[in-house]
Amino acid sequence: MKIPLLAATLIALSCLPVAAQRIDYSKLEIKTTDLGHGVYLLGWQGGDSLILVGDDGVLLVDTSVSPMGDKIRAAIARVSNKPIKLIINTHAHADHFGANESLAKGGAGIVAHDKLRERMAKGFTAFNQAIPPSSPAALPTVTYADAMTLHFSGETVQLFHPLNAHTDSDTLVHFKRANVIHASGTIGGDGGYPFFDMGSGGSLAGMIVAENKMLSLVDDKTRIVADEGDPASTETLKASRDMLVTLRARVQKLIAEGKSEDEVVAAKPTKDFDARWVHPGNFVTGDAMTRLAYQSLKGTP
């Protein structure tokens, strides 16, 4: 039981394509949290969005799933009467770009990594669900390869692409003045184990690189936005990076000893981490995390 085990438990994952989710979106409420300097977190226990409210417009990070578009628009209207000017999509999971078309209708530009546009234009499969090609109106209008800096209403917004981390299309979004980072799924939601989607080009090594990149940008007061839940602290980000580095070393050692995947799982290399990183309702258990690590290190997802 490798991928089937994970697939069966993926239902609780926020980063699932719409079709795989059994969620009644009409019942979801968006919780708006003021993070200061015009930045707000729009949380709905999925691919949470961030907005930056400027004098003449709004910058929106991630548009959620299509059925949430009107709620995102209403949540923005509660803090600003200005139009959405710019949209950033962090990665190719459908809860991060699903409402692009409706939210960009007023003329907003859409910024994303090259790979994200490529995947959206062609259509792709994530978590065994086919995502059809996006309509031209939903596609990013500006793409980049490694890094990009945007200047928006006095804020400097830096975009960084970590290679093969949560997916192969991730964008870390750093709001310098507000001291907020959108992690593009590279840290765990609600303080749980982080997840990487190997079927979409994610990897354990890339997650560590992404977390190290974020650690190079932070101070003690930085808020790091995961896909859901309250923003993580710098302490949590550091602990997550340390946990991933230790787990990689442990699993690597077991692989070098010739252990099979099931034997590595039986060795419980996450035993001392589970109390902190396993959360009720989160599909990434210690054993699931071990399987992800093993498969990523062996290159055999």
Residues of the shown chain interacting with Zn ion in the complex, contacts defined by CB under 5 A: 15, 93, 185
Structure tokens that stand for 283 in this block:
């599909």
Contacts of 95 (CB under 8 A, 6+ apart): 14, 15, 16, 17, 18, 21, 46, 47, 62, 64, 65, 227
Distance CA 141, CA 110 (A): 5
Closest to Zn ion by CB, 53 vs 92, is 92
Residue among 91 and 248 whose Cβ is closer to Zn ion: 91
Distance CA(186)–CA(237), nearest Å, equals 10
Neighbouring-strand partners of residue 24: none
- Closest CB 283 distance from Zn ion, rounded Å: 13
Residue type, position 11, single letter:
I
Smallest separation, CB 8 to Zn ion (Å): 18
Nearest residue to the partner Zn ion, using Cβ: 15
Q: Distance between alpha carbon 137 and the CA centroid of its chain, in Å?
A: 23
Token output for 188: 């765990």
Closest approach, Cβ 116 to Zn ion, in A, equals 11
Residue type for position 241: R
Q: Which residue's CB is nearer to Zn ion, number 57 or number 185?
A: 185
69/189 with CB nearer Zn ion: 189
Phi-psi region of 38 (alpha: psi -120 to 50; beta: other; left: phi over 0): left
**Distance, CA of 148 to CA of 18 (rounded, Å):** 29
- Toward Zn ion, which CB reaches closer, 162 or 185? 185
CB of 14 to Zn ion, least distance (A): 7
Which is nearer to Zn ion, 54 or 301 (by Cβ)?
Answer: 301
CB of 300 to Zn ion, least distance (A): 22
CA 208 from centroid of its chain's CA atoms? 14
Q: Is the dihedral of CA 112, 113, 117, 120 positive or negative?
A: negative
Contacts of residue 28, defined as CB under 8 A and 6 or more positions apart, other chains included, come to 44, 45, 46, 68, 71
**CB of residue 189 to Zn ion, shortest distance in Å:** 10
Residue 71 or 93 with smaller CB distance to Zn ion: 93
Shortest Å distance, C-beta 227 to Zn ion: 6
